[in-house]
Structure 1
Amino acid sequence: MSSSSVKVSSSSRETEGSSSSGSTTTTTKISENVATLNKLPTTAIDTFGNEFEAPNVSLMEILNAIPKHCYERRLIQSLHYVFRDIAAMAIIGWVGMTYIPLVESTFLRFVLWNVQAFWMGCFGFGLWILAHECGHSAFSDYNWVNDLVGWLLHSYLLTPYFSWKYSHARHHQSTGHLTKDTAFVPYTKEEFIRSRSATASKISEITEEAPLRTVAGLLFQQLFGLHAYFLTNASGQAYPAYSKLYTSHYNPVSPAFEKKEFWGIIASDIGMIITMTCVYYWAQTFGLWSAFINWFVPFIYVNHWLVFVTFLQHTDSSMPHYDAHAWNFVRGAAATIDRDFGFIDEHIFHRIIGTHVCHHYVSRIPQYNAREATVHIKKVLGKHYRYNGENMWVSLWKTARSCQFVEGDNGIRMFRNTNGIGVKPNDDKL
């Protein structure tokens, strides 16, 4: 995702409205004119019948509310988290490979191997988040350090670093925009109908989705969603003139990218090839089981955590998506939600779950300053700040059942479903 920045002259600091992509920095043009903001549609009815009111605050108000020191990036502190997470994975792997084979009970060994892989996957996702910080230039003041560390970490986890960086910045630039956002773009009502039945003319003609189908969809999403996105741009913007494989993050001439990003995508592909080669020699040298339990299973966990977290950050029955005429950057960034994942988020996932609203307003604020910045952002956003402290596994199920597509006739579209949950979809115009 490419970047956009906003210069806050009153505080003599430069901040970003989205992530930096090195040489592809553009300026987000956001109107600060209150009269213009007031002309935009402001209300809609969410999935459960509550009135949603779009924020009408200015970006400048939000940025100026954040203390200056929150923007400071400290390389040593950032590197400390990288080495800590690598050390944790190495120690867990060494302890597991040394002592678990000594356990006589087959069942207990199975349990312990899974415990090992789970915690390695948690710290692996922590490393993924740090690489993500690199892509946003939140890791340090040095672009070459950001890109080197980010490329190494993401490549190890089979994420194409530069490709992701470019598309992810565009997501930040256009969050919540139905035709420009690049991730977790929901179906419109019309698209949902077409996806379920080529002959359907009304939502009422589509059978309600069985819970078992929801379970199957969630399993596929959690295990394969990330790489479906990389390979076919799944859940991103559609490019009807091209095949899904042609729009892949691995294709340097994909229409999802600009020509100047060609070599970055090549570098991303090279990083992944190097990783797969290293894993092959790992298996040849130390055995297939060592590579499987210490790399592949944690890698699957990383995929799960990434989709789990990002899906719930951008999908909720209370959150809108906007047509072009109703969207602006402040509204889009507020169309995200902070959630609570307790100790794991605070100490292993680097606060990515609980500070995501802040991350969308100023993605160059490092994770260790994001909690404090969030406190000040909440004061400005007030009722427009979104937080849900519900158990996230419960939220995953509820969201999958209630958030199937969006509809709305004033440019603010809210989630609806065919499962009989909440407000019934309006199909009179079909």
Structure 2
Amino acid sequence: MSVVEASASGANASRSEESAIKRTGNIATFDTATSNLTTVDTNGNVFKVPDYTIKEILQAIPKHCYDRSLVRSLGYVARDITMMCLIGYAGHSLIPSLEIAGHENLSLALRGAAWMAQSYAIGLFGFGLWILAHECGHGAFSDFQAVNDFVGWVLHSYLIVPYFSWKFSHAKHHKATGHLTKDMVFIPYTKQEYLEKKKADKIADIMEESPIWSFAVLVFQQLGGLQLYLASNATGQKYPGTSWLSRSHYAPSSPVFDKHQYWYIVLSDIGILAAFAGVYQWYKTFGLFNMMINWFVPWLWVNHWLVFVTFLQHTDPTMPHYTAKEWTFARGAAATIDRNFGFVGQHIFHDIIETHVLHHYVSRIPFYNAREATEAIRKVMGEHYRYEGESMWLSLWKCIRSCQFVDDDNDKAPGVMMFRNVNGIGVKPRD
């Protein structure tokens, strides 16, 4: 049931949201959280902790922003698939004939670069499909949950993402964004955890302040981060006493999921196996090169874009995390940031980058209504709305260097954790 279906009014919708969160047993209520808190972010600027409520946010959003159109959503799916096919067709029609007269090696390099450009372009629209499947998981795709789940299962399986597994863990992430012990992804180290990690990893202890080490971590994160997270819940909650395999998104009995979700996880795994079978038949029918250029390399790009986008949505030198005492849903949802990825972000990545703050307040608003809703909630959020318009590649480097762990080194706001680092960037952590 959608937010707008739950109630015709923003006030009743807000009560529905709050009660749903409280049923998870992981919320600090508005009565227990401290008001008028301030601390200092990584850049040395004063950070004021939000005190507005989810009720105020929901009341500001025009009701028509909740409207979902199955026809429109399917149209975007058809557009993205069509573009992927057209790019592949154009590439296979034109690239083999590319050559520089009298320069065989240069011709080979030119064709290689063209094939990589084709794979890159397919990967852009492949990530667009991933975002549409993500809309399905939130119920923002259409009014029909069975249709949402079928479309999402097909699209995510093709991209080797277990649909229901992701849907369930991602919903918990939304319910506890910014909560240090209840959030499900991009859980930062606390200062104590970071120091313990340094003691255990001598190489990292020696190399961590080097930009070369930061670059190596960045490459590993971007290429393998998604699959590592799915396979072992890396960057998520630790679940002491469990092996990496038992807490995998592929394990039906993983502590990440509730017991009644068991067979949905099995169905997710069946989708992955079916996708691998399809890719194998692709290879058998059209050859290894065709499969690599049109599926595998674009799939690597989709993996990269997902980590790139989600990391920068939840990591920034200005961004807080909260302990249980000071966390509320409204504060956690504000612990996200909108960024700008130009034409690609708006028209191919379906505004997932530019309207992510709104998405964390109301995830059932479809992306094509999210800009209007974002403008509405900004009036309530005021200075607490977080936006960064610089190059996201520059932001990525800044975040990997400056956001190593969180600490509540301000006695006035215990429980409000801000990023710190050992690289000498910004405010130094307290000894």
**Counterpart-to-counterpart distance in 1, 2:371 and 2:43:** 30
The count of aligned residue pairs is 414
**Counterpart-to-counterpart distance in 2, 1:68 and 1:31:** 28
**Counterpart-to-counterpart distance in 2, 1:51 and 1:12:** 31
Report the secondary structure of 2:236's partner residue. Answer: coil
Where does 1:395-414 land on structure 2 (aligned, <5 Å)? 395-408=395-408, 410-414=414-418
Runs (5+) with no aligned partner, structure 2:
100-106
1:159 aligns with 2:154: no
- Report if the CA contact (8 A) 2:157-2:271 is conserved: yes
Where does 1:12-411 land on structure 2 (aligned, <5 Å)? 14=13, 27-29=20-22, 36=31, 39-40=34-35, 42-104=37-99, 105-198=107-200, 209-408=209-408, 410-411=414-415
What is the CA distance between 1:41 and its match in structure 2?
6.3
**Counterpart-to-counterpart distance in 2, 1:259 and 1:417:** 39
- Report if the CA contact (8 A) 2:401-2:423 is conserved: yes
Report the secondary structure of 1:241's partner residue. Answer: coil
- Name the CA shift for 1:75/1:5 in 2 (closer, same or farther; >3 Å): closer
- Report if the CA contact (8 A) 1:358-1:374 is conserved: yes
- Report if the CA contact (8 A) 1:404-1:416 is conserved: yes
* Structure 1 partner of 2:427: 423
Report the secondary structure of 1:247's partner residue. Answer: coil
C-alpha distance after superposition, 1:46-97 (max 9, x if no partner): 1011111111011111001000000000000000000000000000011111
- Report if the CA contact (8 A) 1:5-1:15 is conserved: no
Q: Which amino acid aligns with 1:348?
A: I
Q: Which amino acid aligns with 1:251?
A: A
Report the secondary structure of 2:316's partner residue. Answer: coil
* Structure 1 partner of 2:102: none
- Name the CA shift for 1:413/1:271 in 2 (closer, same or farther; >3 Å): same
Report the secondary structure of 2:113's partner residue. Answer: helix
**Counterpart-to-counterpart distance in 1, 2:377 and 2:384:** 10
Return 103-112 or 71-80, whichever deviates more: 103-112
- Report if the CA contact (8 A) 1:8-1:15 is conserved: no
What is the CA distance between 1:300 and its match in structure 2?
0.2
- Name the CA shift for 1:344/1:177 in 2 (closer, same or farther; >3 Å): same
- Name the CA shift for 1:91/1:240 in 2 (closer, same or farther; >3 Å): same
Q: Which amino acid aligns with 2:131?
A: I
Identity of aligned residues (%): 58
**CA RMSD of superposed structures (Å):** 2.3
**Counterpart-to-counterpart distance in 2, 1:252 and 1:313:** 28
* Structure 2 partner of 1:21: none
C-alpha distance after superposition, 1:84-113 (max 9, x if no partner): 000000000111112211112111101111
**Counterpart-to-counterpart distance in 2, 1:16 and 1:83:** 37
What is the CA distance between 1:307 and its match in structure 2?
0.2
Runs (5+) with no aligned partner, structure 1:
19-24
C-alpha distance after superposition, 1:117-166 (max 9, x if no partner): 11100000000000000000000000000000000000000000000000
**Counterpart-to-counterpart distance in 2, 1:133 and 1:143:** 11
Report the secondary structure of 1:324's partner residue. Answer: coil
**Counterpart-to-counterpart distance in 1, 2:169 and 2:337:** 21
